[in-house]
Amino acid sequence: MLRASLLSLIALGLSAQEPAKAPVPAPAPVQAPAPAPAPKPEDVVLARVGGEPVTEADFQSAFRLLGQQEQMQVLMVQGGKEEFVKRMAESKMLAAKGKLLELDKTPEYRLALARAKDDLLAREFLTKEGPGLQKKLVVGEAEVKAYYDAHPDRFKQPELVSVRHILVSVKKGEEQPGLSDAEAKARVAKIQAELKKGAKFEALAKKYSDDPGSKDNGGLYADADPSAWVPEFGAAARTQPVAKVGAPVKTQFGYHLIKVEGRKPSRQVPFEEAKETAEKQARQERQVQVWNELMDGLRKEIPFELVKPEAPKAAEPAKAGAK
């Protein structure tokens, strides 16, 4: 090692004393061998069932039949492709067992196979026509605004009411658990007495209300459409004075003490606020329109008829004297 170090130092000293020489041309780069061609999908085996392979081509064929969301799950979830291939192999194994049982020779199987072929051909046709159909499905902002203007009733917000309530439920039958009608009335009177003494409505709702949907929120239902409530409750919500607890209201659920927090009148929702909803509805309407146009065009080319089977005729009564 010492000798090698000395030789290196001598070489450095000599190079410093000698005049510069013309640079030696770099050797021509060695051309790397061309990469081997990628194997064909049908040659890449992912699983074997009964000696038969499940190939990358099989996977790709099944994958393209999935919806967009399912495809994303296969691609994005760790191990998603492997799990999908496993399910394909298991399905092939089930089919192999069905074949051993000669289930592929039954009339039911043959009918199902014919139906499956029709579905696959329909998918292939829609895939082929897909780009053109997608262009027709595009809905621009001007079209969304036109849809909004043409359907004003769909963008009306009804009157909204915010209420707090306390429900004292009444048992449905004598044998059922819970309060009787008289006991429920007595509890309502107790709650009213506590309110008169200055107790907060929200606190009493948390303490006494039997409504699990609002109990923990102090009995509050905010900005709700009163037409969605049972009629007695909805009527009280529309007519009671704001910020005052009304008289008990009897419904099918029991007795309610209701305090109206506020009301918002019905209104026409402006376009900018309704734009997202209008776009969704306009797109759905366009999808129906494009589909119907496609079907109408095909009916002109291919005979199409929906037949309603005739009801079987009732047997005629036997005539008198018939043998």
Q: How do residues 140-180 score in pLDDT, each as one tens digit?
A: 999 999 999 999 999 999 999 999 999 999 998 777 888 99
Instruction: Report CA-CA distances (Å) from 265 to 179, 236, 238, 262, 268.
Output: 38, 16, 11, 10, 10
Answer yes or no: is 201 within a domain. Answer: yes
Instruction: Report CA-CA distances (Å) from 218 to 42, 53, 156, 222, 244.
Output: 65, 64, 30, 11, 16
Q: Which residues, other chains included, contact 12 with Cβ-Cβ below 8 Å and sequence gap of 6+?
A: none
Answer yes or no: is 17 within a domain. Answer: no
Confidence category of residue 308, pLDDT binned at 50, 70, 90: confident
**Is the pLDDT assigned to residue 4 strictly greater than 70?**
no
Is residue 195 domain-shared with residue 67, that is, in the same domain?
Answer: no
Is residue 62 domain-shared with residue 188, that is, in the same domain?
Answer: no
Question: In which residue are the tokens 């209701």 written?
Answer: 258
Answer yes or no: is 69 within a domain. Answer: yes
Give the C-alpha separation, 94 to 96, whole Å: 5
What per-residue confidence (pLDDT) applies to 141?
Answer: 95
- Mean pLDDT calculated for residue range 188-204: 97
* Average pLDDT of the residues of the chain: 88
Is residue 204 domain-shared with residue 278, that is, in the same domain?
Answer: no
What per-residue confidence (pLDDT) applies to 177?
Answer: 82
Answer yes or no: is 323 within a domain. Answer: no
Mean pLDDT lowest among 5-19, 158-172, 200-214, 252-266: 5-19
What per-residue confidence (pLDDT) applies to 25?
Answer: 53
Q: Residue 71: which domain range?
A: 41-105
Query: 95-142: per-residue pLDDT in tens?
Result: 999 999 999 999 999 999 999 999 999 999 999 999 999 999 999 999
What per-residue confidence (pLDDT) applies to 321?
Answer: 58
Is residue 76 domain-shared with residue 147, that is, in the same domain?
Answer: no
Element (H, E) at 214: none
What pTM was estimated for this model as a whole? Answer: 0.61
Is residue 80 domain-shared with residue 167, that is, in the same domain?
Answer: no
Residue 241 DSSP label: P
Is residue 167 domain-shared with residue 146, that is, in the same domain?
Answer: no
Structure tokens at 272: 């900018």
Give the C-alpha separation, 298 to 306, whole Å: 15
Is residue 200 domain-shared with residue 258, that is, in the same domain?
Answer: yes
Is residue 286 domain-shared with residue 147, that is, in the same domain?
Answer: yes
Answer yes or no: is 111 within a domain. Answer: no
Q: Which residues, other chains included, contact 286 with Cβ-Cβ below 8 Å and sequence gap of 6+?
A: 136, 137, 139
Answer yes or no: is 127 within a domain. Answer: no
Residue 140 DSSP label: -
Choose the final residue of a domain: 265, 284, 310: 265
Is residue 167 domain-shared with residue 85, that is, in the same domain?
Answer: no
Is residue 166 domain-shared with residue 242, that is, in the same domain?
Answer: yes
**Is the pLDDT assigned to residue 289 strictly greater than 50?**
yes
Answer yes or no: is 254 within a domain. Answer: yes
Choose the final residue of a domain: 244, 265, 286: 265
Q: CA nearest 280: which of 159, 155, 170, 121?
A: 155
Q: Helices in 77-200 by DSSP H: which ranges?
A: 80-100, 107-137, 141-150, 181-196
State the CATH number of the domain containing residue 182. 3.10.50.40
Q: How would you write 262-313 as a 3-class SS string?
A: EEECCEECCHHHHHHHHHHHHHHHHHHHHHHHHHHHHHHHCCCCCCCCCCCC
Q: How many domains does the chain have?
A: 3
Q: CA nearest 45: which of 78, 92, 104, 77?
A: 92
Check if the beta carbon of residue 22 is closer than 8 Å to that of residue 62.
no
**Is the pLDDT assigned to residue 31 strictly greater than 90?**
no
Is residue 204 domain-shared with residue 273, that is, in the same domain?
Answer: no
**Is the pLDDT assigned to residue 323 strictly greater than 70?**
no
Give the C-alpha separation, 289 to 295, whole Å: 10
Answer yes or no: is 18 within a domain. Answer: no
Give the C-alpha separation, 294 to 299, whole Å: 9
Mean pLDDT lowest among 50-64, 247-261, 266-280: 50-64
Q: What's the alpha-carbon Rg for the chain, to the nearest Å?
A: 39
Is residue 145 domain-shared with residue 285, that is, in the same domain?
Answer: yes
The DSSP code sequence of 196-253 is HTT--HHHHHHHH---TTTGGGTTEEEEE-GGGS-HHHHHHHHHSPBTSB---EEETT
Mean pLDDT lowest among 31-35, 159-163, 276-280, 314-318: 314-318
